[in-house]
Structure 1
């Protein structure tokens, strides 16, 4: 056996990928055996209540883990009818991918979860996405795909949803006021937008060092500061370089016809009939979408991103655009795709929203991002592509439902400022 410390990094990573694929193939063999035990009624034969109890004692799995494996085995295993005919698995495309070692047990659970809200023919798209992404990204993909498939369906009339009612409870305990609140979607989004910029960690200084407060304490201090700000009335916190606002995005045709949904800048959707009322409120920015649902450019050329450009980026990217990242817009910065020092301008077509982690990654690693057909497209470092022996691919933008697009040779990299 070759000493791992002597292997080049790319070869070591390739070896790791191969090992993981082998593990997944062996996991599929385990799933098939579990399915067969379930088919022949092994639990009853062995005197157990159910098969997870058998596995709990035989394999020493926690009961939760055992139940997950049994459930996944039932989705991937074929059934034999009393006449001897073999029925296809519940998730046949997933079963093939698992047999290849392309998907993990965690992938199977998430695919099964999202397929509950999708038609059977959508399994190929979901599995294709799962082959390229981690389970959490597959869950977000499935949710967005379900919305896109059913967004034009008539709204259900029965049962009528319960109206959202704002609730607020205050109680003094030991000299401190305890507050509990339950807010409707729109009010909750406004509250979150107000509180978040005040709850960020304080900048590290030589005297005080880093901000060690836990998030709950930072948000409590932010609420106290918000109370003081509201008492002064003429001073409001800034969010993304502008006074706190809430962006409501929808197609112009839908607004005119009062159909469909609008999207808040935190990703929540609200019925169209609420939009006109919101548009009359202070601090609410209506952003209409132009042709092909692309935001109209409301920015201008300057080194720093203006409030108008940022609002357009929020409407387009809906948060960190890095594949699989779910950070909301309020935790993201604007990034120049072609850097300012290299002659890039400050515009929507040369910008992308990135959270602090992925913003740093783009600047300090071989990851790259380009704009293709108006969509931010990301390229993995050459080392990672060689390790997986996959062709260069661009991960699809988080707002699009499409498989990765094959691309040509990467552009030459410039020194990043």
Structure 2
């Protein structure tokens, strides 16, 4: 018996019906309708071939399955690009006065029955990548060899500006919409002074990376894309740290929580957290629902039948984590919530960053990046165990936190302060982190200039309670602050818009 898949279905030969270019219809609308009709017919034939393959899988081996999946993904990517290009046509029609709508995203979302914000984001991407004539259609699976141009018999191909590398790769199905978003975002984050040729080099390399990795991996790698054209490591480190710092600030702006009493003795809710705090919560819950812990409960009769093992019991993990969340809230230390962060993280950093001599991004043991300021803030609050790395990325120390105020110092400070020391803040002392008035480590401005040499001592005279929001604001390069003392000697912190880089 022959294979249920025709060779052209898995090899993408130019003689496939999908590749053949027809004689041009008389006008653009007719051309669109005819092209869509052929595409739908080809999709019908392809789905029928895939269904036949599924009914006789014994005729497909591993390499054929691999090629099928790659072709399917490439076509899915190209379909995303077709939709994206159509959004750019919607914009062009509106600007030409041929359509009466005001907002392209809303117009498309209503007709496509999609989410308005997501469609608007796709419309912005469409405008950025343009709608130039594609240069060639792929004749093989992405990564399997060079593409062969499709037949253009009977067609006059007008001269036009070639598409950008990102658009070209998406046109051929090598990358997905998510990859394209990541690449465009990374290009937007490059310094404005970077030239066109350098930006082009960066984009070409980002596209190459995108064809080899997932969007999430590409996003992490793209944060250091400046290194492709900038030889100075310190400049790249500062740019990388600025990107992560901006993402952290955006995450705090996006944080939200709502709770609703369901009237049956339960409360339903939803929240959005910055990734760091989300990972910390996940770690705490995971620790409460470990199989070993559940096994002890099972053996005690609290889970499953008496004497049964947890391995013999089907566990509803969402239910277990819900109960663990309630248990965690039930044991919150309301006397001093912020004396220690409630989950220990390992953060890879270097000694120079911890001392404030440089700004390099830290990486947690869950793979998330933290800005240098966030690493130092958490270290000063005993919230992390810093895995301090040397120049050769070798651990120099594990768990040494000499910047931390002790619990007894915090208790003594609580007799003098009832709330955050910022002049207008009323957050209680129990929410506060302890800040060094004279910085423990050197403080540097955005241009690298030292604003304060550091050397502050970890003693009560140098301790100021600040809530998390105002402690983070100390790291904002756009503001400065001054510390005054009231008649009792308590510190009062006042923030001001920074006008220069000469004062801490």
Compute the TM-score of the two structures, normalised by the length of structure 2.
0.40
Q: Highest CA radius of gyration, 1 or 2?
A: 2
Compute the TM-score of the two structures, normalised by the length of structure 1.
0.47
Using CA pairs under 8 Å that are at least 6 residues apart, name the structure with larger relative contact order, 1 or 2. 1
